[in-house]
Structure 1
Amino acid sequence: MQTLSTKDLKVSYGDKIIIDDLNITIPKGEITVLIGANGCGKSTLLRSMARLLKPKSGGVILDGQDIAKMKTKQVAKKLSILPQSPISPEGLTVLELVKQGRHPHRGFIKQWSPKDDEAVQEALELTNTIDLKDQTVDSLSGGQRQRAWIAMTLAQETDIMLLDEPTTYLDMTHQIDVLDLLYNLNEKDGRTIVMVLHDLNLACRYAHHIIAIQDKQVSAQGRPEEIVTCDLVEQVFNLKCDVLFDPIYGTPMCIPHGKGRQILPPSSNINRKKV
């Protein structure tokens, strides 16, 4: 199984430093979620780990090697990325899209093989998109479209999957559908999954490991139940809240304090418990 980490990573846009001397190690075979306020550098970090952004200094280490010194196809066989709001050519079918995931495994001479067919078929089945394979991607609903893109990354057959806000623009039902799919992929195959999520409660529910980004650095990292506290949420998001336990899953659940309504006294809610 592949390993992924950063070493003294510094990333900038022009003269503006976004990530500064950051050192993290992504746990193998687990789901890691990057959280933080808008503009803190979550997506920048994810894109850097996928070699889509060139660091100002430091680097990303993939399976013991500096990712910047690896060949593109070598990286693509070990690591896949689903960017935020990907766009496919008009008229492309789901099957054609998923087949694109096999590109790193093919050369100029190598023909399409039974192994390629098997990888595509399995990706379609795992994502429940096999009945959609002949439909065009642009005709699908948001949730169906996202599952099709995930199928493409699965067909790539990498140990590590990076996803930038995979639930953006999806309604609640489709958010859960996509996150359940990713969770089941991790459970079934032990894939290492790293994703950016805005919803802190969903991050706590699905992540084995959370990395909170603030001021260009890691503010906290660890198991959700160990690090997600009222103090952390206020520090990272500038938001006062209570942190309770999800009554279904037992994971931390953030209840934000609004400014327009009176907060009920603790005695009015017997389940009110801070962690």
Structure 2
Amino acid sequence: MHVNSILQTEKLTLAYGEKIIIKELDLSISKGEITVFIGGNGCGKSTLLRSIARLLKPEGGSVLLDGESIAKLPTKEVARKLAILPQGPDSPEGLSVMQLVKQGRYPYQNWLKQWTKEDEKLVNNALKSTSLMELKDKAIDELSGGQRQRAWIAMTLAQNTDIILLDEPTTYLDMAHQIDILDLLYDLNEKENRTIVMVLHDLNLACRYAHNLVALKNQRIVAQGKPDEIVNAELVQQVFDMQCVISVDPIVGTPLCIPYGKGRSAVTV
């Protein structure tokens, strides 16, 4: 196990029925970093994330959490260490923001230990961190897409885990709300040292926010590392089958992918 690794896969093979999605994959995720999975549709990004969260049983190999096989850990113990926000989660009709966020404290409840002041504090902190305190009594289904996504993230924060997994947290959001959500996650990493692992479709946003990129293609990792060390035109061609020019993001200095297709030729200056 790597010294700073908090999550690992060893020879991990994942499948749906007879179709192999991920094959004998070795991956190490460092503690206190933002790791982003990138790749084309159907490459296994979400499947890999689900397996790391113990939502999908491997066909072979294993997932390690703090050096222990996650398959052998009690469910509530896993939920105290790791929270996952799946893509497009659904909530019961009429559920309020406060009621949803309180669900994050479920792993800490049992017949001996009911709701405590600590639970109340963590729920309120989660609402404040996501700027939802004023909306706490509002029904989830009455919120905008960005507000709803923040409510689900607040629930994962209330769970108070060191690791947060998110499957395409910016899907269906406009550009402004995408940046809001990613800025929030970046702050959680910077200020609270949360380890964040997420799937993103937008390569430029992935480069801007990730400490570590994992590029997937054909059931395996084709590149892994810091965005400015691995992202180039050849990688984009290999992973996304797309021609591009790589420039520099003028705001943060990370790689900026400028694609060009077959419909328009490049402008000569």
TM range (shorter): over 0.9
User: Which of structure 1's runs of 4+ aligned residues deviate more than 6 A?
Assistant: none
Q: Give the SS at the match of 1:80.
A: strand
User: Tell me, what secondary structure is at the counterpart of 1:248?
Assistant: coil
Distance in 2 of aligned mates of 1:62 and 1:30: 15
Structure 2 letter corresponding to 1:164: D
Structure 2 residue aligned with 1:187: 190
SS state of the match for residue 124, structure 2?
helix
Aligned partner (choices 42, 51, 54) of residue 54 of structure 2: 51
Normalised TM-score (structure 2): 0.98
Q: 2:250 is matched with which residue?
A: 247
**1:233 equivalent in structure 2:** 236
C-alpha distance in 2, partners of 1:249/1:65? Answer: 37
Superposed CA offset, 1:228-259 (max 9, x none): 00000000000010000011110000000121
Matched, 1:161 2:156: no
TM-fit CA distance, 1:64 = 1.1
Contact conserved, 1:2 with 1:78, CA < 8 A, in 2? no
Which of 99, 104, 116 is equivalent to 2:119?
Answer: 116
Is this contact kept in 1: 2:45–2:199, CA < 8 A?
Answer: yes
Shift of 1:110: 1.1
Preserved CA contact (<8 Å) 1:210 1:222 = yes
Output the CA distance in 2 between the equivalents of 1:103 and 1:171. Answer: 32
Q: Please, what is the CA RMSD of the aligned residues? A: 0.9
Counterpart Cα distance in 2 of 1:108 and 1:42:
38
The answer to whether 1:26 aligns with 2:29 is yes
**Deviation (angstroms), 1:2:** 7.8
Determine if contact 1:2/1:160 at 8 Å carries over to the other structure: no
Question: Does the 8 Å CA contact 2:242/2:261 hold for their aligned counterparts?
Answer: no
Question: How many residues are matched?
Answer: 266
SS at match of 2:265: coil
C-alpha distance in structure 1 between counterparts of 2:236 and 2:265, whole Å = 20
Whole-angstrom distance in 1 between the partners of 2:31 and 2:245:
31
Name the SS of the counterpart of 2:266 in structure 1: coil
Aligned ranges 1:142-153 → 2 under 5 Å: 142-153=145-156
State whether structure 2 residue 213 is matched by structure 1 residue 210: yes
Counterpart of 1:5 in structure 2 is 8
Partner of 1:272: none
Paired residue type of 2:55? L
Contact 1:2 1:159 in 2 (8 A): no
CA deviation map 1:108-146 (0-9, x unaligned): 221100000011011001111111100000100000000
Report the Cα distance in structure 1 between the residues aligned to 2:35 and 2:151, rounded to whole angstroms.
22
Compute the displacement of 1:3 (Å): 1.0
Partner of 1:271: none
Residue pair 1:143, 1:174 contacting (<8 A) in 2 also: yes
Cα distance in 2 for partners of 1:255, 1:204 equals 13
Identity of aligned residues (%): 64
Matched, 1:200 2:200: no
For 1:34 and 1:241, locate their aligned partners in 2 and report how far apart those are by CA, in whole Å. Answer: 20
1:264 positional shift: 1.4
